[in-house]
Amino acid sequence: MNSQVPQGYQQTEAGVIPDDWEVVKMADIASFFKGKGISKKDISDDGIECIRYGELYTKYDEKIQNIASKTNLPIDQLFLSKKNDILIPASGETAIDLATASCVLKDNVALGGDINIIRSMQNGIYLSYYLNTVARNRIAKLAQGVSVIHLYSSHLKTLSISLPSKPEQQKIADILTIWDKVIEKQSALITQKQQLKNGLMQQLFSQQVRFKADGSDFPDWKEEKLGEIGKISMCKRILKKETNETKGVPFYKIGTFGKKTNAFISKELYEQYVEKYSFPKKGDILISAAGTIGRIVIYDGNPGYFQDSNIVWIDNNEDVILNSFLAYCYTRVNWQTENTTIPRLYNNILREVKIPLPLKLEQAKIANLLTLADDEISKLEQELNALKSQKKGLMQKLLTGQIRVTIN
């Protein structure tokens, strides 16, 4: 036996697994089918429950119990599910995205085209977890294509997987389902808190709810133009030849604004431009002026460079209280763009945008209250991420037999 393989385990083409687990080809334990086309126009308010292939990416995880869509197509034009069927997209943008398995837990759900359907007597929930975790990279390697990637049933039939006994499959599925329920509960709590915060913002910015100034009323809010509050600023333009894809200071284009970027400029060029040209200060609110207009990011002060006139900010002489207030106020602005082929939020438009402003003390009270709500949501999101990370680690160990479950 290989000294690196622990006692009681075996090295197989599906990885290191317990001696009492078996390795099988998917073709040996399952039948394979393809769904029938259900287009967007075929979705209706009533009719037969249905799943379209795009929803496997956006709406569902390893288990599908509550169906989001319905269709009124005739039943003889549909392919209907059997409880325990496993669904995997047959086409997508990347190979790794295709390795997305979901077990449908209901009979007679219409399954759309471009869906691989795996029908097995094994535990479908266990298999979905396994395919999404242990076998994900191997599934991705089976996919073919360039601009559009395809995954065919003939590919999936060749996949080797490891199987414990059916009682152990069930126990593993039950344990991971408990974790999913905790994660769903945490996600629902975050949604509830976000809705409460949105309702609070509605009341505060419509002035249905007002703070008091030492027991007396604050004066009425006054509208001011952004051009009167501060100067519209932007970074110097960076040319494509000045960027690279591997190292340096992150360069945020409009497509990566507020997200992880895959473009960089040299540290030397960054330092040269920051010293010589306009650059946001920590706490400034960056606004997207193209693409999805009006997205905002509060600049955290970390080294980073922003795409010329597509990302702008209001330079208001380091007025921290005003910035905090505006960060919430901007989320309620209906940004109007110039009527051009490519919509843009030009500087002359930005300068004329009117913002209702209370006195600075009331600005601070509003911003502080909403910041408390944001901090609570952020803490809940951190807890959610920790739960997901813990589940991921546990799932990997359960599905490879590194942690064994007790069967009663």
Domain assignment present for 55: yes
**Is there a single domain that holds both residue 189 and residue 269?**
no
**Is there a single domain that holds both residue 289 and residue 407?**
no
Burial string for 263-294 (b: 16+ CB within 10 Å, else e) reads: bbbeeebbeebbeeeebbeeebbbbbbbeeeb
**Is there a single domain that holds both residue 147 and residue 172?**
no
Confidence of residue 3 (pLDDT cuts 50, 70, 90): low
Assess contact for 264 and 246: CB atoms under 8 A: yes
* C-alpha–C-alpha distance, residues 391 and 151, integer Å: 27
Q: What is the mean pLDDT of residues 106-127?
A: 95
**Is there a single domain that holds both residue 144 and residue 42?**
yes
* C-alpha–C-alpha distance, residues 177 and 158, integer Å: 28
Which residue(s) pair with 217 in the sheet? 212
**Is there a single domain that holds both residue 235 and residue 130?**
no
Residue 376, exposed/middle/buried by CB under 10 A (0-12, 13-18, 19+)?
middle
**Is there a single domain that holds both residue 65 and residue 202?**
no
What are the tokens at 317?
Answer: 């002489």
In degrees rounded to 5, what are phi and psi of residue 290?
-150, 170
What CATH number did the domain enclosing 174 receive? Answer: 1.10.287.1120
Domain assignment present for 148: yes
> In sequence order, which residues have a C-beta less than 8 Å from that of residue 49 and are 6 or more positions away?
67, 69, 70, 106, 108, 109, 110
Q: What is the DSSP letter of 302?
A: S
CB-CB neighbours of 346 under 10 Å: 15
**Is there a single domain that holds both residue 293 and residue 365?**
no
**Is there a single domain that holds both residue 207 and residue 349?**
no
**Is there a single domain that holds both residue 98 and residue 134?**
yes
Domain assignment present for 4: no
Over 60: is that where the pLDDT of 2 sits? no
In degrees rounded to 5, what are phi and psi of residue 217?
-75, 145
The 10s digit of each residue's pLDDT in 300-311 is 889 999 988 889
* C-alpha–C-alpha distance, residues 375 and 363, integer Å: 18
Over 90: is that where the pLDDT of 145 sits? no
Domain assignment present for 315: yes
Beta strands in 65-195 (DSSP E): 69-71, 85-89, 91-92, 102-104, 110-111, 115-120, 144-145, 149-150, 160-163
Per-residue pLDDT at 341: 62
Domain assignment present for 2: no
Structural domain including 72 reads 9-163
**Is there a single domain that holds both residue 21 and residue 143?**
yes
What are the tokens at 174?
Answer: 């039950």
Which residue(s) pair with 286 in the sheet? 297, 313
Q: What is the mean pLDDT of residues 262-279?
A: 92
What CATH number did the domain enclosing 101 receive? Answer: 3.90.220.20
Where is 217: in which H helix or E strand? Answer: strand 216-217
Residue 305, exposed/middle/buried by CB under 10 A (0-12, 13-18, 19+)?
buried
This prediction has a pTM of 0.81
**Is there a single domain that holds both residue 367 and residue 294?**
no
* C-alpha–C-alpha distance, residues 192 and 194, integer Å: 5
* C-alpha–C-alpha distance, residues 392 and 176, integer Å: 10
Domain assignment present for 217: no
Assess contact for 265 and 305: CB atoms under 8 A: yes
DSSP-derived 3-state class of residue 48: strand
Per-residue pLDDT at 339: 61
pLDDT > 90 in the chain, percent: 59
Of 131, 193, 169, residue with least CA distance to 383: 193
Over 80: is that where the pLDDT of 318 sits? no
Of 159, 145, 147, residue with least CA distance to 101: 159
Domain assignment present for 3: no
* C-alpha–C-alpha distance, residues 373 and 378, integer Å: 9
Over 80: is that where the pLDDT of 140 sits? yes
Assess contact for 110 and 48: CB atoms under 8 A: yes
Q: At what angle do helices 124-133 and 360-399 cross, to 10 degrees?
A: 110
The sign one gets for the Cα dihedral 19, 25, 27, 32 is positive
CB-CB neighbours of 313 under 10 Å: 25
Choose the final residue of a domain: 141, 163, 185: 163
* C-alpha–C-alpha distance, residues 84 and 29, integer Å: 13
Assess contact for 129 and 67: CB atoms under 8 A: no
The 10s digit of each residue's pLDDT in 357-389 is 999 999 999 999 999 999 999 999 999 999 999
Q: What is the DSSP letter of 90?
A: S
The 10s digit of each residue's pLDDT in 70-92 is 999 999 999 999 999 999 999 88
Domain assignment present for 27: yes
**Is there a single domain that holds both residue 38 and residue 132?**
yes
Amino acid at residue number 278:
S
Instruction: Report the number of distinct structural domains present in the chain.
Output: 3
Choose the final residue of a domain: 144, 163, 182: 163
Average pLDDT, the chain: 90
Burial string for 1-12 (b: 16+ CB within 10 Å, else e) reads: eeeeeeeebbee
Assess contact for 149 and 143: CB atoms under 8 A: yes
Q: What is the mean pLDDT of residues 315-326?
A: 80
